C-alpha cells in the first residue's frame, strides 16, 4: 500500500529517470519543470553547484505552489577537478567518455525539499563513486549508438548498456541515475511528508 502524503508532492524536474525513480517509492506526485537557468561551470565546486541548482528548481516551483511539497534535484559528474555536465553534442560526449575511460569519478546529487506555506526547507548532498573500464573509440561509438547521452551528466547512463563501460561502483546506484532513493525516503519521512 502506498504511503499517504500529507500534502501534494511535486517533482521539479523534467527528467524521465527521476520520475521513474520517485515512482518506485510508491507516492503520488506531479511533475512541474522549473523554468530556471542552472549554474553549470566546469570549474565549479560540484557539491555546491548541485545543491544550488536543486534549490533553484525547488524554490521556483514552491513559489508558484505554496501548499505543495516540492522536490528539486541536480546531478553532475566530477573528475580531474572538472565538472562534467550534460554534453552539448556528440563530440563532447565522446570526449567525456574518453576522459572517464579506465578511471574512477564521483557522481554528486543535490536534493532540495521546499514547502512555502510553512517554510519547510531541507537540503542534502549525496556522492557515489563509479569506475569505468578501459574503453576504446570502437566501444565509445557502440555505446553512443545505443544510448542517448546528451541529456545525461558525464555523457553516460549507468542504467543503460553499463556492461560496455562500467567496471563497478560504490554508494547509491539511484544517486548515479539521478535521484538517491534511500535519502529521498528518509527526507520525506523526517519532514513528516508520509505517514
> 15-18 — which CB contacts under 8 Å span 24+ positions?
15/73, 15/151, 15/178, 17/157, 17/159, 17/177, 17/178, 17/179, 18/73, 18/178, 18/179
Q: What are phi and psi of 120, to 5 degrees?
A: -60, 130
Helix (H) or strand (E) holding 112, with range, is strand 104-115
Catalytic one of 30, 59, 74, 137: 74
Among this protein's residues, is 74 annotated catalytic? yes
CA 110 to chain centre: 7
| Length of the chain in terms of residues written | 195
DSSP state of 171: S
Tell me which residues are annotated as active site.
74
Amino acid at each position: 500500500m502506498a504511503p499517504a502524503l500529507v500534502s501534494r508532492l511535486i517533482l521539479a524536474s523534467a527528467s524521465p529517470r527521476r520520475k521513474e525513480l520517485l515512482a518506485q517509492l510508491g507516492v503520488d506526485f506531479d511533475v512541474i519543470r522549473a523554468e530556471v537557468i542552472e549554474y553549470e561551470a566546469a570549474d565549479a565546486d560540484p557539491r555546491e553547484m548541485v545543491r544550488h541548482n536543486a534549490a533553484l528548481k525547488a524554490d521556483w516551483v514552491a513559489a508558484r505552489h505554496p501548499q505543495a511539497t516540492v522536490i528539486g534535484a541536480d546531478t553532475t559528474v566530477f573528475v580531474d577537478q572538472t565538472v562534467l555536465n550534460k554534453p552539448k553534442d556528440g563530440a563532447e560526449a565522446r570526449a567525456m567518455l574518453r576522459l572517464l575511460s579506465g578511471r574512477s569519478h564521483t557522481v554528486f546529487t543535490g536534493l532540495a525539499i521546499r514547502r512555502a506555506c510553512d517554510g519547510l526547507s531541507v537540503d542534502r548532498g549525496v556522492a557515489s563513486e563509479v569506475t569505468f573500464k578501459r574503453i576504446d573509440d570502437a566501444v565509445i561509438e557502440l555505446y553512443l549508438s545505443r544510448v542517448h547521452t546528451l541529456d545525461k551528466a558525464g555523457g553516460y547512463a549507468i542504467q543503460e548498456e553499463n556492461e560496455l563501460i562500467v567496471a563497478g561502483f560504490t554508494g547509491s546506484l539511484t544517486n548515479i541515475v539521478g535521484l538517491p532513493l534511500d535519502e529521498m525516503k528518509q527526507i520525506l519521512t523526517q519532514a513528516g511528508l508520509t505517514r
